[in-house]
């Protein structure tokens, strides 16, 4: 079979059959991923973070194919499954790995909220996905819980790639199921190895996260991750009842994998400047809708007009130019000039040093009252509302406990990392809210927030008194002192 080699900075040469290159890679929907950054606006903090969903998809394909070929060399895995069945699973897995992110809208996760859910679910139904999942006995839960980019990807897989996939003897609905963490074939009673194929793309130890944590660490230059990827790849195994697992080979590197993934979230995607850059970009997208009267990103825009980061940035540029006195223009100028304010604290240590209160309770209060406090701070500081933001990372809530469920197989027994006692009581830091205000106002802001917190969530727990009820002398006392930033 003729193949094409593509040089990847993370995994070296990625080898693909020419038929897969012609039928999937060298097509317009897949090539669009070259212009969708993996980490949205994080390149404004880490200049090297210009990697895209395109190379990530190639990396996931490479890891998925490599792991599955390793599994096929394990006699235990191939037992009770024919060569034809294993070939079918591998073909499906390879296509699913390539196409798992094909539905990402511009700026990856940032613009997903702009996609009209009713339109998206109508397209999903029209593509036959609902019927396919019902016919397999899976039901509608996977489709209801799927993220917008996953659903959009499934529509593209069926509509844009259905013919090519069938030519490869691959069921496009099974590819969609893999993307969502299911195997329709397994649910219909096919061998357990079909379920493992889906787990390789969607589980606590899937090759998707194995690629992106390695790639994000490498391309940002953050250097917070150090674990043996090759050893992890060699450690994959599987069990009829437990499904995908890791063998004892992973014991020497699993701790680095767990800690490194958390560190990447904490210091790259949740770096205070990354949080601000992505919040600003998100606000610009929302403000575009208010200014122009239409959403800059839509389901049809991605499916029919191949919207990518560049196209949407151009829309923002034109709208800002045509509305020079608008809030959008102010935001766009700040974004293009990278005029980012500092946060009142950069990390948990600084928060504890600068705020004389229980920081966990204080952080919870800030997060729950963010919209109201932003407005009150803007009034007190006499600045426009869009120059005061209370935020935390756009990355979905990250619970390290889920990693304790990683299965480790040894001596015919499969138990989780936690059950083997490998995870221990190790505690990891958690994200904290950041407060972004104009230069020269940080100290005053902190004092204002401390005063408000003391009145709303004081020792007596009385949350009736609001900041607006604090009399002038108390406010003045709370805000005395230098406004220089430390």
CATH of the domain at 227: 1.10.3210.10
Q: Residue 336: which of 395, 284, 294, 290 has the closest Cα?
A: 284
What percent of the chain has pLDDT above 90? 76
Say whether pLDDT at 398 is over 80. no
The pLDDT value recorded for residue 483 is 43
Regarding whether 350 and 245 lie in a shared domain, the answer is no
Regarding whether 220 and 366 lie in a shared domain, the answer is no
What percent of the chain has pLDDT above 70? 90
For residues 149 and 108, give the distance between their C-alpha atoms in angstroms, rounded to a whole number: 8
- The string of pLDDT tens digits covering residues 135-175 is 999 999 999 999 999 999 999 999 999 999 999 999 999 99
- The string of pLDDT tens digits covering residues 335-344 is 999 999 989 9
Does residue 244 contact residue 196 with C-beta atoms inside 8 Å?
Answer: yes
Which of the four pLDDT bands, split at 50, 70 and 90, describes residue 429? Answer: low
Which of the four pLDDT bands, split at 50, 70 and 90, describes residue 267? Answer: confident
153-164 CB burial, b ≥16 within 10 A, e <16? bbbbbbbbbbeb
83 phi/psi in degrees, rounded to 5:
-60, -40
Locate tokens 């890791």: which residue? 246
For the chain, give the longest Cα–Cα distance: 81
Q: How far is CA 466 from CA 208, 401, 470, in A?
A: 46, 36, 7
Say whether pLDDT at 397 is over 60. no
- The string of pLDDT tens digits covering residues 174-202 is 999 999 999 999 999 999 999 999 999 99
Regarding whether 126 and 244 lie in a shared domain, the answer is yes
For residues 246 and 407, give the distance between their C-alpha atoms in angstroms, rounded to a whole number: 6
Say whether pLDDT at 479 is over 70. no
* Residue 309 lies inside a defined structural domain of this protein: no
The pLDDT value recorded for residue 1 is 79
Regarding whether 193 and 52 lie in a shared domain, the answer is yes
Out of 247, 269, 291, a domain closes at 269
Regarding whether 245 and 348 lie in a shared domain, the answer is no
For residues 414 and 246, give the distance between their C-alpha atoms in angstroms, rounded to a whole number: 9
Q: How far is CA 31 from CA 99, 158, 312, in A?
A: 11, 17, 17
* 330-334, 411-415, 460-464: least confident range: 460-464
Out of 269, 286, 306, a domain closes at 269
Say whether pLDDT at 469 is over 50. no
Out of 235, 251, 269, a domain closes at 269
Say whether pLDDT at 353 is over 50. yes
Regarding whether 454 and 372 lie in a shared domain, the answer is yes
* Residue 298 lies inside a defined structural domain of this protein: no
For residues 206 and 166, give the distance between their C-alpha atoms in angstroms, rounded to a whole number: 25
The pLDDT value recorded for residue 344 is 96
For residues 397 and 430, give the distance between their C-alpha atoms in angstroms, rounded to a whole number: 10
Average pLDDT of the chain to the nearest whole number: 90
The pLDDT value recorded for residue 257 is 84
Regarding whether 205 and 352 lie in a shared domain, the answer is no
* Both structure tokens of 181: 């963490």
Which of the four pLDDT bands, split at 50, 70 and 90, describes residue 401? Answer: low
The pLDDT value recorded for residue 418 is 75
Say whether pLDDT at 459 is over 90. no
Kind of pairing, strands 3-8 and 12-17? antiparallel
Regarding whether 387 and 241 lie in a shared domain, the answer is no
For residues 355 and 453, give the distance between their C-alpha atoms in angstroms, rounded to a whole number: 10
* Residue 282 lies inside a defined structural domain of this protein: no
Kind of pairing, strands 236-239 and 413-416? unpaired
Which of the four pLDDT bands, split at 50, 70 and 90, describes residue 464? Answer: very low
Does residue 102 contact residue 157 with C-beta atoms inside 8 Å?
Answer: yes
* Residue 147 lies inside a defined structural domain of this protein: yes
Which of the four pLDDT bands, split at 50, 70 and 90, describes residue 226? Answer: confident
Regarding whether 215 and 134 lie in a shared domain, the answer is yes
* Residue 275 lies inside a defined structural domain of this protein: no
* Residue 202 lies inside a defined structural domain of this protein: yes
Regarding whether 125 and 259 lie in a shared domain, the answer is yes
Mean pLDDT value of segment 74-95: 96
* H or E segment and range at residue 122: helix 117-126
- The count of structural domains within the chain is 2
Which of the four pLDDT bands, split at 50, 70 and 90, describes residue 400? Answer: low
For residues 265 and 396, give the distance between their C-alpha atoms in angstroms, rounded to a whole number: 10
* Residue 391 lies inside a defined structural domain of this protein: yes
Regarding whether 242 and 106 lie in a shared domain, the answer is yes
* Residue 281 lies inside a defined structural domain of this protein: no
| Cβ neighbourhood burial of 468 (10 Å; 0-12, 13-18, 19+) | exposed
**Range of the structural domain that residue 406 is part of:** 341-486
Regarding whether 371 and 253 lie in a shared domain, the answer is no
């Amino acid at each position: 079979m003729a193949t094409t080699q593509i040089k990847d900075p993370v995994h070296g040469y990625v080898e693909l059959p020419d038929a897969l290159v012609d039928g999937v890679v060298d097509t317009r929907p897949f090539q669009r991923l070259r212009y969708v950054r993996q980490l949205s606006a994080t390149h404004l903090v880490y200049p090297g973070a210009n990697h895209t969903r395109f190379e990530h998809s190639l990396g996931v394909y490479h890891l998925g194919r490599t792991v599955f070929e390793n599994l096929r060399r394990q006699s235990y895995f191939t037992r009770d499954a024919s060569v034809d069945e294993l070939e079918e699973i591998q073909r499906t897995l390879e296509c699913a790995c390539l196409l798992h992110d094909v539905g990402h809208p511009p700026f990856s996760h940032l613009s997903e909220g702009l996609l009209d859910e009713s339109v998206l679910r109508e397209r999903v139904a029209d593509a036959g996905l609902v019927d396919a999942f019902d016919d397999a006995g899976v039901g509608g839960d996977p489709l209801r819980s799927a993220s917008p980019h996953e659903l959009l990807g499934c529509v593209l897989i069926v509509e844009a790639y259905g013919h090519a996939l069938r030519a490869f003897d691959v069921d496009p609905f099974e590819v969609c199921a893999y993307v969502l963490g299911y195997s329709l074939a397994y649910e219909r009673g096919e061998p357990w190895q079909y379920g493992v194929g889906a787990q390789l793309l969607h589980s606590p130890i899937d090759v998707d996260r194995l690629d992106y944590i390695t790639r994000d660490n490498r391309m940002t230059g953050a250097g917070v991750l150090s674990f043996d990827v090759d050893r992890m790849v060699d450690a994959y195994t599987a069990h009829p009842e437990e499904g995908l697992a890791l063998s004892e080979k992973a014991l020497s590197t699993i701790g680095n994998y767990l800690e490194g993934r958390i560190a990447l979230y904490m210091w790259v995607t949740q770096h205070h400047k990354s949080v601000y850059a992505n919040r600003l970009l998100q606000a610009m997208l929302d403000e575009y809708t208010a200014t122009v009267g239409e959403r800059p990103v839509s389901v049809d825009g991605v499916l029919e007009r191949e919207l990518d980061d560049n196209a949407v940035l151009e829309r923002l540029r034109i709208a800002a130019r045509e509305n020079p006195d608008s809030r959008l223009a102010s935001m766009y100028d700040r974004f293009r000039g990278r005029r980012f304010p500092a946060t009142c604290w950069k990390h948990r240590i600084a928060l504890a040093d600068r705020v004389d209160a229980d920081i966990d309770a204080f952080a919870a209060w800030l997060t729950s009252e963010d919209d109201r406090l932003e407005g009150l701070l803007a009034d007190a500081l006499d600045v426009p509302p869009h120059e005061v933001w209370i935020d935390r990372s756009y990355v979905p809530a990250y619970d390290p406990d889920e990693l304790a469920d990683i299965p480790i197989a040894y001596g015919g027994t499969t138990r989780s990392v936690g059950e083997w006692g490998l995870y221990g009581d190790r505690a990891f830091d958690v994200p904290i809210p950041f407060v972004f205000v104009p230069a020269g106002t940080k100290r005053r802001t902190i004092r204002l927030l401390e005063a408000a917190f003391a009145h709303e969530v004081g020792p007596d727990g009385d949350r009736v008194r609001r900041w607006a009820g604090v009399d002038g002398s108390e406010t003045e006392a709370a805000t005395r002192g230098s406004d220089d930033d430390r």
